[in-house]
Amino acid sequence: MSPHWQVNSIAELDQLLQARIPYAALLGIRARAGEDGEPLFLLPYREANIGNVQLPALHGGVIGGFLENAAVMHLLWAREAFELPKVVDFSIDYLRSGKPLDTWARCEIVRQGKRIANVLMSAWQDDPARPIAQARAHFLLA
Amino acid sequence: MWLPVSSPEFFERVSPWFMAMPHCRALGLQLRAASRGRVVLALPFREALIGNPLTRVLHGGVVTSLIDTSSAASIFTLLDAVESLATLDLRIDYLRPARPDATLYCEAECYRLTDHIAFTRATAYQDEPQRPVAHGVATFARTPVPAAVAGAL
């Protein structure tokens, strides 16, 4: 296992999610290539990610953890970090209830300096134009 | 200033249901204390919650889930009937890493409850409460639950 987190492709990112990040494996997070070549992150539906059973709806913390993890992975993929970035703060708006369906996410690095990166994240299910959550976070790059 | 939960009979019924949410079980969350407006939840350490295999610190997402759940639970200490609580927004400052092999606790407080909105704040800590791992603030939308659904609890 390399001490550094160098990622050369989205396939490697996907492998890393499953093999090296226990919490990402617990949620079932995967990485896929989007049409524009940027990574998309996939949270396949599973019962263990449900919060409210009556609705039913995905647990808000799962959506938050999924997006936060997506941002870390996006920074590795964009080669803005060769160690795992450390989250400094995280802010999420929940826009729609997360249905018991696969959830997708994509990230955008808004600004990155030498040490700090600001990342926007968006999660959706059937329609990218109808996000279920949007988040932003700051990360400390090693 | 300690006070008992607003409706002990209701809270005794609702808290096991709340803590049995599939993702609460998947993480292993436990309710440790409850009073009017406040709860303490505990999350025992497990390898599956690690975010970085080299340092073995907990994943930030685990802290997010703990704070979100604790914050919602604190609202139920003020209610006397089931309702649906949807997180509107949640903001977290990560003050220091959550060390491996130690239980992570979260004390959450609902400090303002209106007809439609609940405002919460929460602190996550390990062995030393004066050295918090994270602070979180959140707002929740309150929605009544149909009597038929509420009656099933």
Neighboring chain A residues of B53 at a CB cutoff of 8 Å = 1, 20-22
Low-confidence ranges of chain B (pLDDT < 50): none
Fold of the CATH domain A10-140: Thiol Ester Dehydrase; Chain A (3.10.129)
Give me the domain span that covers residue B72.
8-151
**Alpha-carbon gap: A64 to the closest alpha carbon of chain B (Å):** 6
Instruction: State yes or no: ipTM above 0.90.
Output: yes
Chain B interface residues facing chain A, Cβ-Cβ under 8 Å? 21-26, 47-54, 58-62, 64-69, 84, 86-94, 97, 145, 149
Total number of domains constituting chain B: 1
B2 found inside a domain: no
Within a domain: residue B72?
A: yes
Å between A25 CA and nearest CA of chain B = 8
What is the average pLDDT across A90-101?
A: 97
User: Which tens digit of pLDDT belongs to each residue from A24-83?
Assistant: 999 999 999 999 999 999 999 999 999 988 889 999 999 999 999 999 999 999 988 889
The CATH number linked to B142 is: 3.10.129.10
Count of CB pairs separated by less than 8 Å, A with B? 127
- Report the gap between the CA of A42 and the closest CA in chain B (Å): 16
**pTM for this model (two decimals):** 0.95
Secondary structure of chain B as H, E, C letters? CCCCCCCHHHHHHHHHHHHCCHHHHHHCCEEEEEECCEEEEEECCCHHHECCCCCCCECHHHHHHHHHHHHHHHHHCCCCCCEEEEEEEEEEEECCCCCCCCCEEEEEEEEEECCCEEEEEEEEECCCCCCCCEEEEEEEEEEECCHHHHHCC
